Each structure stands twice: as structure tokens, then as C-alpha cells.
């Protein structure tokens, strides 16, 4: 039997412990700023200050500056769209010539590169121009190729392109081999060896088969097993997809396919110029986002199916099953999630949202270094204006001080949304829009002068071979990704693959695997990324090199991130900047002031850059 003295001692100890735990929780809640969006920048840069190309009508000024690219193409072509975005991101002028004969090559100030859209230009007739361009040392990039019969019938064109013969007008390859050192992320083989791999194979495997001349450098080829009978074949015998030829003392790059007709082309063009020069340095964003759309949901919708599948309501599934898994993923990989909340999906079923869990989620997001935003997803019967009106009534009755600076919108809503940003109270604090846009849409841009657009670059639950190639190209160009996990599929599953346990397995496997090569880039919420996107879009710069020192001068902003790629040289020190090696010959550089110097030295006397 416990004595009275011991009994009272136990009671006092329990009371002290209860007070300590309760008091610490009160202090924790009081000091954590759960109800404030700490990631929202108070005075952001604006679109009216963004970098813009000079007036192309003043060609003399463009030529004198020398930081320009020439494109032979129609202005409305897919290649022209990619080239224009690439020049915007790298802060170069783009001069487009629908008629190549209008371009006059001058030795006073040469372009950085000349691009050729073969679908818009008659190549045989332009051979004298191409000979003159390469003869002056200008890198020439063929963004695509004409039909094989055009190439087969012109020996001069074949010599320019580095093609020895046309073996087949079309051949089906078993897979694609991307060689290391071209795009960030290293070497990769896109070949379906198993039934599971076959689900990932969505690359175009039917390609013209050109046999290249000796001495060409291959970056990506089609894989054919029959060439490996007994001994290894040289790369020039495989169907080349991206390669480099030496001609007239300069480089001629060739793309056999449509890889430069979508936004992945911006990374491929950056990689080509890196291969053409002694080094490459250009601005990037340095932001890796994981966007969780339609999470959490606050209305008890589709309950019958939820109970059947999970033996619990949808709100309970999100809170008790999905969130612990998502927060664990974020903690393990140091992700800063952006959770775009959904008040309700079906506005016609009479089921209204409840904010009982709202404070819980804000606390959880803050502790997980994550951010809350608003999703504009809804049923087909409700227009955007009606949804925003209903959502405003719901969210305004909850945490009034939280500034929702990120929204998730379908591509078809973007045009209408622009007119509502200043009209709808729920959107008054919005700074960035995340959207699953198409291949031709910019990866990042100003949506309005006050709001940025951050396109979705990948889906978390699937990762095909084309997704992987896209990922490597965009990371090479921008050091950026925006991975979407749309929880709408979980709440309204259409197949067994949409069940949470199956979807989560794919999501976690993909994020733990394919993004590992890019973990040295910063993990950000959409608001953090928004600040970096603005700095990237507003930045102008000049880079020069004297001996072993690279000099950087920033304009428009005082700091920013750059990617430096060398050929066997390493950074020894930097002034006004910090740096981190991402992989061999590739460095992430943070410039901390308007002027900075980066000092290089050859790695043990090895210089890998060759003509």
C-alpha cells in the first residue's frame, strides 16, 4: 500500500510534469508564428524591372554588344519559341531571320552562336552562308534535320553535319544512351530491360540512322544490340541523336529529333555552348520545389468510396495517414513542401467545408518548414469566380493573418485568373502561380508584373524516360524543379493505382531516386522560390575572363546564383562569391555582391577542352 506521503509526492510530480509539458506547448505555439506566412517576401522585385532585350531595331547596338544569337527560322516555329526563352534566361539578344539571305556576317562583332531550324530553311541553298559562318569561328547548331533524302543528296551538307552515310531512313532503336558530362545528372541508359521499365519507355525510338564520320563527339545515341556482335562498335556507328562535328575550325552541333522543340531545349542549348567554349557560366534559379496540390481538403466529400477503400473518412485519411507520410518524406529529404489547400471540390453536393483541422495543419506545416497556399481545383459545374467567392467566405473565418502567396491553377484557368488577382480578396496576397502547363510554356516567367508563373516540371507519382531527360535538361538550364503531387487523385480515385498506398510508393521512390543527383540545389517553398525567380528574371550580368580569373558584374540585382562548368579546371577561391561543386567540372556559385571574381586552376595539368 502506498503511504499518504508517497501518494502526495506522486501527485505533486505528476502536476509538475503536466505543467511543464503544457507550458512548453503554450510557449511553442506562442512563438512559432503558425498563423503567419514567414516565407512571403514583403517587398518583392517586380516585372516592370525584369531584364528585357534591347530594341532589335537598333542592330548596331546589338552588334556592338556582341551578346546575341542568330536564328534562321520562322518566328512562330517551336524552335523559335525555345530559342527566345533560352536567350531570355541567359540574357542574350535573339535575332531571327526568316530569310537567311538577309543576314550579313560581319567580323566586327560575332554572335555567340548561329541556330538553324531545318524545317524552316532550305539547307542546300544556304551552304555558302554556313561555310562563311563556320569559317569565322561561330558555333553552328542544327536544331533539327531535314528528311534523309535531302541529306543523302548533298555531299557538302553531309560533310558539314559530320555524316558519312545515310544507312536507313528510319530504324527502331532498343533504347537511348545519354553520355555523361553533357547534361547535369551524369550518364543514363533509357532502355526497357523489364516489364516495369516498359511503362517508362515513352521516348521516340523510330529515328533516321546516320553513320557519322570519325572524330565526331557523340552526346546521345540510339542503342542497337546487333552492333555489338563480338566486339564493341564505335559510337559513330550507332544512330546519332545529338553530336558535334568539327568544321572550318569551329563546332557544328546536330540534333536528330525534336529535342529542341520543347522547353527541355534550353538545357540542351546551354550544354552545347559549354561544349563549344573553354568554360560556361550563366544564371540559374537554384530552387527545388515539391508542390502538394489539393491538400488538405476540408469538406467530407466522396465519403462512401473513402470508407470502402480506407475504412475512414477522407479528412481522416489526409490527416492521420497521408500527412505523417508526407512530413516524413519532407524531413528525410529536407524538402520544403508547399501545400495548396482545397476548401472543397464539389460545390453542388450541399456538403460545406469545416475548419476544425485548419489550425492543426498550419502548425504542422510550420514545424515541417512548409507553406500553405490555395488550390483553385473544382468540379466542372462551378466557375472560377463562384469558387473564389465561396472559398473567401470559408477562409476569412479562419486565420485572418495568414497571407496566401501561392496558388495552384489549371492551365485553362490562367487567362481568367489574371483578371481576378486584384478583384478577389482571397487572392490579394498572391505572389506566384503554380500550374501544370504545356511543353511550349516557359518554365518560369512573370505572369503579371506583380505575380510570377512557376510551371510544374514533373509529376511525383510517375517518372518516365522522357521525364528523366526533361529533368536533367531543366536542371542544367535553371537549377530548378517543381514536382507536383496532386492529392485530388487520392480523394477521387479512378483506378487501383490512385489508392494512397500505391501512389505513395511511387512518389517516395521517385523523389528518393531521380532527384538525388540534384540535392545540392536548395529546397524551397513556392514563396521562397518566387523570390529567386524574380531575381533570376530581373538579373543582367557580364562575364569575362583574363588568364585564370573569371570576372562577374551583376546588374539589376545585387546577388544571384550561377552555374559554372569547366573542362578540367577547378575553383581555388572566390571573392564576393561562394561556391559548391555539384559534380565533376560543375559548380554552383552564389554571387553575393555586384562584382565578384572566381579564380581557377587546371586539375593536375589536365585540360579536357578540345576542338
Q: How far apart are CA 388 and CA 449, in angstroms?
A: 22
Show Cβ contacts of residue 421 under 8 Å, excluding neighbours closer than 6 positions: 427, 430, 448, 450, 451
Q: How far apart are CA 483 and CA 330, in angstroms?
A: 13
Cell of 32: 512559432
Question: Residue 416: pLDDT above 90?
Answer: yes
Q: What is the pLDDT of residues 482-523, one digit of tens each?
A: 999 999 999 999 888 899 999 999 999 999 999 999 999 999
Q: Which fold has domain 287-533?
A: TIM Barrel (3.20.20)
Contact 578, 561 (CB under 8 A): no
Q: How far apart are CA 187 and CA 169, in angstroms?
A: 28
Weakest mean pLDDT among 289-303, 535-549, 592-606:
592-606
Fold agreement between 66-284 and 287-533 = no
Q: pLDDT value at position 12?
A: 75
Q: How far apart are CA 163 and CA 157, in angstroms?
A: 8
Q: pLDDT value at position 24?
A: 47
Question: Residue 78: pLDDT above 90?
Answer: yes
Q: At what angle do helices 265-276 and 465-478 cross, to 10 degrees?
A: 60
Q: pLDDT value at position 81?
A: 96
What b-and-e string marks burial along 528-543, b requiring 16 or more CB atoms within 10 Å of the CB?
bbbbbbbbbbbbebeb
Q: Where are the domains of the chain?
A: 66-284, 287-533, 539-602
Nearest to 219, CA basis, from 260, 164, 165, 172: 260
Q: What is the pLDDT of residues 181-195, one digit of tens each?
A: 999 999 999 999 999
Work out the average pLDDT over 379-393: 95
Sheet hosting strand 480-486, strand order edge to edge: 444-446, 452-455, 432-435, 406-408, 371-375, 337-342, 287-297, 480-486, 458-459
**Beta-bridge partners for 435:** 455
Work out the average pLDDT over 380-401: 93
Q: Which fold has domain 66-284?
A: Rossmann fold (3.40.50)
Considering the chain, what percentage of its residues have pLDDT values greater than 90? 81
Nearest to 525, CA basis, from 371, 380, 333: 371
Contact 544, 550 (CB under 8 A): yes
Q: How far apart are CA 586 and CA 582, in angstroms?
A: 6
Q: What is the pLDDT of residues 429-475, one digit of tens each?
A: 999 999 998 888 999 999 999 999 999 999 999 999 999 999 999 99
Show Cβ contacts of residue 1 under 8 Å, excluding neighbours closer than 6 positions: none
**Given pLDDT bands bounded at 50, 70 and 90, which one contains residue 17?**
low
Q: How far apart are CA 404 and CA 122, in angstroms?
A: 52
**Given pLDDT bands bounded at 50, 70 and 90, which one contains residue 27?**
very low
Weakest mean pLDDT among 50-54, 328-332, 373-377:
50-54
**The dihedral formed by the CA atoms of 227, 232, 236 and 241, expressed in degrees to the nearest 10:** 70
Q: How far apart are CA 402 and CA 33, in angstroms?
A: 10
Work out the average pLDDT over 125-154: 95
Work out the average pLDDT over 590-605: 89
Amino acid at each position: 500500500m502506498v503511504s499518504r506521503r508517497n501518494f502526495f509526492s506522486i501527485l505533486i510530480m505528476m502536476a509538475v510534469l503536466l505543467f511543464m509539458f503544457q507550458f512548453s506547448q503554450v510557449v511553442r505555439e506562442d512563438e512559432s508564428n503558425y498563423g503567419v506566412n514567414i516565407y512571403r517576401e514583403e517587398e518583392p522585385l517586380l516585372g516592370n524591372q525584369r531584364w528585357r532585350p534591347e530594341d532589335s531595331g537598333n542592330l548596331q547596338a546589338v552588334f556592338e554588344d556582341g551578346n546575341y544569337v542568330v536564328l534562321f527560322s520562322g518566328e512562330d516555329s517551336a524552335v523559335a519559341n525555345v530559342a527566345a526563352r533560352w536567350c531570355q534566361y541567359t540574357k542574350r539578344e535573339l535575332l531571327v531571320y526568316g530569310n537567311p539571305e538577309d543576314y550579313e556576317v560581319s567580323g566586327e562583332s560575332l554572335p555567340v552562336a548561329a541556330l538553324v531550324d531545318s524545317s524552316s530553311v532550305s539547307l542546300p541553298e544556304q551552304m555558302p552562308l554556313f561555310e562563311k559562318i563556320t569559317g569565322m569561328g561561330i558555333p553552328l547548331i542544327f536544331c533539327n534535320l531535314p528528311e534523309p533524302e535531302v541529306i543523302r543528296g548533298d555531299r557538302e551538307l553531309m560533310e558539314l553535319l559530320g555524316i558519312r552515310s545515310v544507312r536507313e531512313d528510319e530504324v527502331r532503336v532498343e533504347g537511348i544512351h545519354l553520355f555523361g558530362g553533357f547534361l547535369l545528372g551524369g550518364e543514363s541508359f533509357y532502355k526497357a530491360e523489364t516489364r516495369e521499365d516498359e511503362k517508362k519507355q515513352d521516348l521516340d525510338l523510330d529515328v533516321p540512322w546516320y553513320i557519322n564520320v570519325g572524330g565526331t563527339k557523340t552526346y546521345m545515341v540510339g542503342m542497337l544490340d546487333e552492333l555489338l556482335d563480338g566486339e564493341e562498335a564505335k559510337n559513330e556507328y550507332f544512330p546519332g541523336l545529338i553530336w558535334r562535328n568539327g568544321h572550318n575550325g569551329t563546332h557544328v552541333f546536330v540534333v536528330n529529333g525534336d529535342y529542341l522543340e520543347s522547353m527541355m531545349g534550353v538545357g540542351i542549348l546551354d550544354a552545347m555552348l559549354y561544349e563549344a567554349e573553354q568554360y560556361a557560366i550563366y544564371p540559374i534559379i537554384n530552387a527545388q520545389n515539391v508542390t502538394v496540390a489539393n491538400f488538405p481538403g476540408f469538406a467530407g466529400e466522396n465519403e462512401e468510396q473513402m470508407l470502402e477503400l480506407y475504412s475512414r473518412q477522407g479528412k481522416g485519411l489526409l490527416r492521420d495517414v497521408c500527412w505523417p507520410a508526407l512530413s516524413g518524406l519532407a524531413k528525410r529529404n529536407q524538402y520544403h513542401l508547399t501545400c495548396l489547400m482545397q476548401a472543397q471540390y464539389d460545390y453542388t453536393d450541399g456538403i460545406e467545408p469545416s475548419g476544425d483541422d485548419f489550425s492543426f495543419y498550419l502548425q504542422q506545416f510550420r514545424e515541417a518548414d512548409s507553406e500553405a497556399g490555395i488550390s483553385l481545383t473544382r468540379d466542372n459545374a462551378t466557375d472560377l469566380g463562384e469558387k473564389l467567392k465561396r472559398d473567401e467566405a470559408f477562409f476569412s473565418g479562419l486565420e485572418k493573418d495568414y497571407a496566401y502567396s501561392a496558388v495552384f491553377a489549371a492551365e485553362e484557368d490562367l487567362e481568367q485568373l489574371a483578371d481576378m488577382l486584384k478583384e478577389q480578396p482571397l487572392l490579394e496576397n498572391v505572389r506566384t502561380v503554380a500550374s501544370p502547363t504545356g511543353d511550349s510554356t516557359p518554365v518560369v516567367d512573370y505572369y503579371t508584373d506583380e505575380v510570377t508563373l512557376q510551371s510544374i516540371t514533373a509529376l511525383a507519382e510517375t517518372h518516365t524516360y522522357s521525364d528523366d531527360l526533361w529533368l536533367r535538361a531543366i536542371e542544367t538550364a535553371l537549377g530548378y524543379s517543381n514536382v507536383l503531387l496532386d492529392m485530388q487523385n487520392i480523394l477521387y480515385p479512378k483506378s487501383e493505382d490512385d489508392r494512397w498506398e500505391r501512389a505513395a510508393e511511387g512518389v517516395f521512390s521517385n523523389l528518393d531516386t531521380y532527384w538525388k543527383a540534384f540535392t545540392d540545389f536548395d529546397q524551397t517553398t513556392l514563396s521562397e522560390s518566387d523570390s529567386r525567380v524574380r531575381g533570376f528574371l530581373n538579373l543582367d550580368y557580364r562575364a569575362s575572363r583574363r588568364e585564370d580569373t573569371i570576372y562577374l558584374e551583376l546588374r539589376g540585382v545585387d546577388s544571384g546564383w550561377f552555374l559554372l562548368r569547366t573542362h578540367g579546371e577547378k575553383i581555388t577561391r572566390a571573392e564576393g562569391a561562394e561556391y559548391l561543386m555539384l559534380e565533376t567540372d560543375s559548380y554552383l556559385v552564389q554571387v553575393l555582391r555586384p562584382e565578384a571574381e572566381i579564380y581557377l586552376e587546371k586539375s593536375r595539368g589536365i585540360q579536357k577542352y578540345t576542338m
